Amino acid sequence: MAINESAILKSELRWAMIVGGIVAIILIAILYAAIAMHVNPPSNREYVDPKTLHLSAEFTEANLGTRVDPDGHIVARVIATQFEFVPNCFVLPANRDVTIRLTSPDVIHGILVTGTNVNTMVVPGYVAQVHTMFTKTGDLLMPCHEFCGLGHSQMLATVRVVPPGQFHPGPDGRIACGDRR
């Protein structure tokens, strides 16, 4: 017999252990990122009634867009709906912690901000929340990335990332793309 069966078995066992070790390392890295560094999937579990979004609470029209809350948090609130974002442009400063909160009154949408790792689903009934910090300034494209109907390919918004020195919210804490800076 030319082939040594025990050598084959040894080789197979060795590779099984190497693969098992790689899987274990990846699992440990995921758990470490989640538990020690608090790096988790971008969505949180927060319910909102999609039937009354426009009538009361956080996502009424007057509340949409970017606002600096009294405690200093910078939050952009956006509704993703067939087939547009409201507002379709919002301003955020670079190099600052910012929060984007989105929800949908109709079907499942999804967003990503090009050139960044911002990426989340927007599911009716839930608030999708992303904490991030933009490092580059400019107009970043934010398309819908979940097929939501015939107008899906036309559904996009702009994230206008400005230098912190040009981020001047009004006395009410609000700032919009149309504002003069």
The DSSP result for the chain, as a single string, is --S-HHHHHHHHHHHHHHHHHHHHHHHHHHHHHHHTS----S----B--GGGTTTSSTTSGGG-EEEE-TTS-EEEEEEEETTEEESSEEEEETTS-EEEEEE-SSS-EEEE-TTSS-EEEE-TTB-EEEEE---S-EEEEEEB-S--STTGGG-EEEEEEE-GGG----TTSEE-TTS--
Site mask, ligand CUA, residues 77-96, x = CB under 6 A? ---x----------------
Binding status of residue 155 toward ligand CUA by CB under 6 A: yes
Binding status of residue 174 toward ligand CUA by CB under 6 A: no
Binding status of residue 118 toward ligand CUA by CB under 6 A: no
Binding status of residue 152 toward ligand CUA by CB under 6 A: yes
Piece of 1-9, 52-60, 113-121, 145-153 that binds ligand CUA (CB under 6 A): 145-153
User: What is the Cα–Cα distance from 101 to 65, expressed in whole angstroms?
Assistant: 10
| Residue 151 CA neighbour count, 13 Å, CB half | 9
Binding status of residue 141 toward ligand CUA by CB under 6 A: no
Q: Which is nearer to ligand CUA, 78 or 175 (CB)?
A: 78
Piece of 15-23, 35-43, 91-99, 148-156 that binds ligand CUA (CB under 6 A): 148-156
Binding status of residue 109 toward ligand CUA by CB under 6 A: yes
Piece of 51-59, 65-73, 123-131, 142-150 that binds ligand CUA (CB under 6 A): 142-150
Binding status of residue 148 toward ligand CUA by CB under 6 A: yes
Site residues (vs ligand CUA, CB under 6 A): 80, 109, 144, 146-148, 152, 155
